Amino acid sequence: MASVGFYHLTKTSVEQALPALLTRTMQVKEHGLVLCKDDQQIKNLTEALWRITHPVWLPHGCQTSRHQDISPEWQPIWLTVSEENLNEAAFLFIVKGQSSISLSSFKRVFDLFDGNDEHAVQQARERWRFLKQEGHELTYWKQTDKGWEQGGK
């Protein structure tokens, strides 16, 4: 079973929160797979990754419905609309909401959702219930003025 963290975004967007999580992924020398909802979200996240200043750069590649960067297996961060783990990532970042990808092959799963969108919050609650029934280890993190705080289960 996977360790799944739900990240309730209330202070920043996915584009602002994800680079810090991916930075930590790189620090522990793991690969990250980012499942996006559409090509536009991939474009937005790619631009966000290019804009970060610390670290200087987060190496990444992407696969949209029209284009795929070369050698996904070499990419430490892979942004995609496809539910294939082409870069053999140990960390999965779900920023698109519902996903049917098998979580069992990942060490950690990060489910990021917009806390200012009631529909997204409701969908996250449904995913929580489903994954709990499946037996996954779940944690809940909420953004506050002081940073991420772990909430109750």
Mean pLDDT confidence for 39-54: 91
Confidence of residue 97 (pLDDT cuts 50, 70, 90): confident
pTM of this structure: 0.93
- The residue extents of the domains of the chain are 3-150
* Contact in structure between 127 and 113 (CB atoms under 8 Å): no
Q: Is a pLDDT exceeding 70 seen at residue 100?
A: yes
CATH of domain 3-150: 3.40.50.10110
50: exposed, middle or buried (C-beta count within 10 Å: 0-12, 13-18, 19+)? exposed
What mean pLDDT, rounded, does the chain reach?
A: 93
Q: Note whether 64 and 78 are within 8 A (CB).
A: no
Q: Is beta strand 137-144 parallel, antiparallel or unpaired with respect to 147-150?
A: antiparallel
Closest among 31, 30, 25, 60 to 43, alpha carbons compared: 60
Instruction: Kindly state the average pLDDT of the residues 50-60.
Output: 84
At 153 the pLDDT is 52
Place 65 in a pLDDT band, splitting at 50, 70 and 90: confident
Residue with tokens 């219930």: 129
